[in-house]
């Protein structure tokens, strides 16, 4: 269980990490790798990697000398550095190997790393006799169904928005559906708390409604998360048309804000008993 109050790591860690991040960002700015409708989707495994690495930190899996690199906030800078390096590497490979797809390489490489880390987590859960995949599998299926219904509704109502945002927009909606469903699942079925003030207020308000007795309190949170994602995607329609590169990079961040916490929640359900610490941003307040 990831707990404790977050403290800023020593400058011994912060300065090199920021220099590495700045160096990778500068290289990416210099080489300007192309962006496509697959760009954001290809970084989904890297968003998951950040969540897994943070979860491992909560389990005390790292030696003390490197643990500060995997705490709240720093874990995402660390992950971004490695993801950016792989992006640069795949861009160079594409420049010397005809027909090589940059984002296929980024996604497959990240997927392989994410899979290894998740297997390690599962083995840890099995060893501790706390492995329980039922809720995560159920949550993933429900999140996918909710996102699919929302995307179909958007496609039928605002066809041009769905056409211009494409896979990028669909992934943003799924990412926030996953976060919403996993949070609702933890709140209603596992008794987990919510640390983000606005989210907690929304869940408590929903819990006070007569419907809570029959369908729980999480449904309103899911609805708000998905509607907010749809509004953001719709707002980016013209931005994507005018500046597709910048728009996709911003949408990658928007997706990560939902997908990372959602993956974190579900993996936490998998390897622990009925206690969950929600999302990296929510863990900043401590346990």
- Domain holding 154, by residue range, is 11-283
Contacts of 122 (CB under 8 A, 6+ apart): 131, 270, 271
Predicted pLDDT of residue 130: 65
Rounded to 5°, the CA angle 58-47-106 comes to 135
Pick from 264, 132, 278, 274: which is nearest to 193 by CA? 278
CA distances from 140 to 156, 178, 186, 256 (A): 24, 7, 13, 16
Within-domain flag for 2 = no
Q: What is the pLDDT of residues 167-208, one digit of tens each?
A: 999 999 999 999 999 999 988 887 776 667 777 788 888 888
Residues 272, 117: Cα–Cα separation, whole Å: 16
pTM of the model: 0.87
Helix axes 44-58, 102-127, angle to 10 degrees: 30
Q: What is the pLDDT of residues 113-137, one digit of tens each?
A: 999 999 888 887 666 666 677 888 9
Within-domain flag for 4 = no
Number of domains in the chain: 1
pLDDT band for position 158 (50/70/90)? Answer: very high
Within-domain flag for 1 = no
Within-domain flag for 250 = yes
Q: Give the SS3 label for residue 166.
A: helix
Q: Identify the residue whose tokens are 């909710």.
A: 146
């Amino acid at each position: 269980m990831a707990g404790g109050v977050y403290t800023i790591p020593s400058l011994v860690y912060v300065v090199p990490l920021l220099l590495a991040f700045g160096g990778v960002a500068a290289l990416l700015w210099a080489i300007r790798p192309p962006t496509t409708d697959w760009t954001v989707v290809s970084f989904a495994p890297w968003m998951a990697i950040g969540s897994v690495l943070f979860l491992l930190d909560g389990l005390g899996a790292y030696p003390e000398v490197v643990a500060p690199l995997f705490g709240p906030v720093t874990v995402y800078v660390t992950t971004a550095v490695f993801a950016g390096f792989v992006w640069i590497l795949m861009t160079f490979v594409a420049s010397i190997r005809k027909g090589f797809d940059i984002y296929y390489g980024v996604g497959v490489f990240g997927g392989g790393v994410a899979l290894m880390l998740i297997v390690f987590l599962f083995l840890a859960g099995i060893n501790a006799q706390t492995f329980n995949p039922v809720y995560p599998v159920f949550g993933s299926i429900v999140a996918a169904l909710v996102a699919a219904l929302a995307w179909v509704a958007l496609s039928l109502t605002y066809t041009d928005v769905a056409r211009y945002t494409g896979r990028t927009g669909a992934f943003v909606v799924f990412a926030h559906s996953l976060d919403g469903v996993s949070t609702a699942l933890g709140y209603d079925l596992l008794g987990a708390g919510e640390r983000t003030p606005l989210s907690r207020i929304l869940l408590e308000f929903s819990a006070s409604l007569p419907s809570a007795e029959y369908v729980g309190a999480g449904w309103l949170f899911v609805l708000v998360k998905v509607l907010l994602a749809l509004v953001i995607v719709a707002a980016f329609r013209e931005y994507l048309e005018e500046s597709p590169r910048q728009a996709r990079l911003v949408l990658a961040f928007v997706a990560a804000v939902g997908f990372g916490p959602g993956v974190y929640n579900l993996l936490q359900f998998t390897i622990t008993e009925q206690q969950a610490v929600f999302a990296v941003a929510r863990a900043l307040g401590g346990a």
